[in-house]
């Protein structure tokens, strides 16, 4: 019925292909932990007009909750929680159904229609709604904010008063003219 492949948590699959006309594939999610949140994300070239949908399958049955998130350019996401150890270790397990439909036309002159779409897909564990792979960026931003508040306080006050004096002299010159 469907082409089935394994998708391991934290391991991105690159350059996957599916037919553009009614293409579909099921990814069996491997390496899930119970009571953890996950995000399955698929990205594809914007030059290939297609509608991509991701749906969660539990025990090979479609989950009632469909992906109602905002649509991003050439990226689709599905966020879900692996509820119990029984659900994760079940033989059928959790699966993601990827379906493709052509949408629009290729607007590049003298180019022929494409019959396949190339995409990347990844399943990542989340902590507080942020994928683990993005936490290094979050920590770097937090460090920059802390440094930006500490450095001005450690500077000599003479530097700060000179700056304030320059600002007030610029204001008075502006009023004279």
Domain harbouring 10, CATH code: 2.60.120.380
pLDDT at 120: 93
State which residues form the domain around 150: 136-176
pLDDT at 123: 92
Q: Are residues 122 and 143 in the same domain?
A: no
Q: Are residues 122 and 140 in the same domain?
A: no
Return the structure tokens found at 93.
Answer: 């397990």
Q: Are residues 120 and 172 in the same domain?
A: no
Other Cβ atoms within 10 Å of 11 Cβ, number: 12
For the chain, what is the domain count? 2
- Half-sphere exposure of residue 105: CA atoms within 13 angstroms, side-chain side: 6
pTM here is 0.68
10-residue mean pLDDT profile of the chain (177 residues): values are: 83 89 88 88 83 82 54 76 70 83 71 80 84 79 87 72 53 55
Q: Are residues 121 and 36 in the same domain?
A: yes
Q: Are residues 82 and 112 in the same domain?
A: yes
Q: Are residues 171 and 123 in the same domain?
A: no
> Taking Cα atoms as reference points, which of 40, 39, 38, 45 lies closest to residue 18?
45
137-175 as b/e: b if 16+ CB within 10 A: eeeeeeeeeeeeeeeeeeeeeeeeeeeeeeeeeeeeeee
Q: Which of 106, 127, 148 is the last residue of a domain?
A: 127
pLDDT at 152: 75
pLDDT at 64: 47
Q: Are residues 115 and 148 in the same domain?
A: no
**Mapped to the 3 state alphabet, what secondary structure does the chain carry?**
CCEEEEEEECCCEEEEEEECCCCEEEEEEECCCCCEEEEEEEECCCCCCEEEEEEEEECCEECCCCCCCCCECCEEEEEEEECCHHHHHCCCCEEEEEEEEECCCCCCCCCCCCCEEEEEEEEEEEECCEEHHHHHHHHHHHHHHHHHHHHHHHCCHHHHHHHHHHHHHHHHHHHHC
Q: Are residues 107 and 46 in the same domain?
A: yes
Q: Are residues 100 and 17 in the same domain?
A: yes
Q: Are residues 93 and 145 in the same domain?
A: no
Q: Are residues 122 and 41 in the same domain?
A: yes
Alpha carbon distance 101, 51 (integer Å):
5
Q: Are residues 101 and 140 in the same domain?
A: no
């Amino acid at each position: 019925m469907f082409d089935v492949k394994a998708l391991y948590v934290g391991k991105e699959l690159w350059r996957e292909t599916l037919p553009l006309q009614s293409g579909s594939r099921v990814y069996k999610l491997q390496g899930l932990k119970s009571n953890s949140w996950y995000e399955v994300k698929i990205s594809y070239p914007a030059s290939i007009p297609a509608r991509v949908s991701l749906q969660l399958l539990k025990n090979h049955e479609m989950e009632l909750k469909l992906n109602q998130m905002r649509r991003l350019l050439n990226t689709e996401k599905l966020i879900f929680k692996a509820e119990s150890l029984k659900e994760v270790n079940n033989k059928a397990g959790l699966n993601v159904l990827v379906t493709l439909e052509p949408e629009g036309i290729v607007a590049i002159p003298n180019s022929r229609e494409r019959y396949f779409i190339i995409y990347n897909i990844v399943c990542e564990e989340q902590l507080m709604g942020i994928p683990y792979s993005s936490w290094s960026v979050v920590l770097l931003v937090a460090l920059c904010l802390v440094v930006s508040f500490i450095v001005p306080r450690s500077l000599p006050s003479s530097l700060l008063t000179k700056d304030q004096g320059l600002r007030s002299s610029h204001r008075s010159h502006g009023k004279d003219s």
